[in-house]
Amino acid sequence: MSVPLPEGEGRPEPRARVAGPRALSRAARIGAPIGAALFLAALYGLPLLSVAKNRLALGDPVYAARSLGPEAHSAAILVVAAALMIRALPSRRVALAAAGLLATALVVLVLGLGGAAADLVAGRPPAARASLAAGAWIALALLVGGIVLSSRRTALPGLGAGIAAVVALVLSVAWRQGILDGLSLAVEFRARRGLVVAAIGEHLELAAGALLLAGLGAVLLALWRRGQIVVEALVSGVQVVPAVALFGALVALLSGLLRAAPPLRDLGIGALGATPAILGVSAYLLLPLWRGLNRALQAPDPAMLDAAAGLGLTRAQTLLRVRLPIGVPILIGAVRVACVQSIGLATLGALIGAGGLGRIVFDGMAQFAPDLILLGAIPIVALSLAVERVLGRAEAAARRRRA
């Protein structure tokens, strides 16, 4: 006679439902036409470019019918063809072909926008600018999203990165040929090429410095086993403090410290600049790193730890041979979150003189120059996505090895 078990005891947890091939095919059949319709609406219903007398003046909208013509129609045909293919037969081979069509449409559209911008500013004063408008940004975003989804549908490793490399190569050749020189964003980059390169280096230094400092702090806090409740309250409490307020408090604190101990200035410590920025960013990174480290150390099964003790392993040997190898995927996931967070938060370091890409962003905001803002924002987004992608793959690989 079987005895009914209490609720939640002795029963296997229900498996999470995973979308099967039919569900994915159905979603592709529905999503592809919708995405194509949105692309056509953005391409023909919204302005693709905006022409202004200078970088600060409001521009006049320019639509596809007036500016692009053949390039817009070619991109539209390629997108519609990809959508119809996926609608008819959403297989992996079709997804591969669709990814190629969408990548071609992306290149055609960007080249068309560059050529149209050059034609629009030709014969105008040097201060005239042709900027990408809402329609262009939405269309480009839809194309990138379609390429990503199609690449994932093929399940071919490295396909997305390969397509991105080919598109980047074609656009870099077009850049060298001067095809994109008419776009306002390209004008801003040419005028500040050295500044952008230096700002990227400064940004990476700020993010890396904060990550290393937070990593060291997370290890030290994890070693304080008796005070974990206090540690959790501290690292969690920092998250509710606005970043600007924290940076301001650190500037005031370091100012008082330097007045009390002037020799600290000889060590490169300042109340403004990189020191308060790194300290502030690292304070926000403590929570994901400390929590990830604790979860990684607790990942091994108790029976496994008992077996390690039975084999005579010391605590240090258990840590190096059992706890850390099993907890590596959790550690990589924590580092991934902290890296992306550090790249984003380092932007605010420009408010206290730390430099980085945030300086370009805030300069653009002060001058009401959208393209200057994008000149700083685009590398920040690109760095975040690249780091997330690389560490995400490393985390997935570690989980596969553990399984």
pLDDT of residue 22: 65
pTM of the predicted model as reported, rounded to 2 decimal places: 0.84
Candidates 393, 359, 390; CA nearest to 376 is 359
In one-letter notation, the amino acid at residue 316 is A
Over 80: is that where the pLDDT of 14 sits?
A: no
- What is the pLDDT averaged over residues 42-49? 93
377 and 358 Cβ atoms separated by less than 8 Å: no
Q: Which residues contact 360 (CB under 8 A, 6 or more apart)?
A: 192, 195, 196, 199, 372, 373, 375, 376
Q: What is the DSSP letter of 60?
A: E
Over 70: is that where the pLDDT of 8 sits?
A: no
Distance (Å, rounded) from C-alpha 83 to C-alpha 106? 15
Q: Helix crossing, 92-121 with 70-88: angle to 10°? A: 170
Pairing mode, strands 129-132 and 60-62 = unpaired
pLDDT tens, residue by residue, 248-274? 999 999 998 888 888 888 788 888 888
Over 70: is that where the pLDDT of 1 sits?
A: no
Instruction: Name the band, by pLDDT with cuts 50, 70 and 90, for residue 400.
Output: confident
Q: What is the DSSP letter of 48?
A: S
Distance (Å, rounded) from C-alpha 109 to C-alpha 45? 15
pLDDT tens, residue by residue, 313-333? 877 788 778 888 888 899 999
pLDDT of residue 18: 42
| 193 class by beta-carbon count within 10 Å (0-12 exposed, 13-18 middle, 19+ buried) | exposed
Residue by residue, DSSP assigns 243-310 as: HHHHHHHHHHHHHHHHHH-GGGGGGT--SSSHHHHHHHHHHHHHHHHHHHHHHHHT-S-HHHHHHHHH
- What is the pLDDT averaged over residues 17-29? 63
Q: Which two tokens stand for residue 172?
A: 């870099």
Instruction: Name the band, by pLDDT with cuts 50, 70 and 90, for residue 172.
Output: very high
pLDDT of residue 23: 65
Distance (Å, rounded) from C-alpha 371 to C-alpha 131? 8
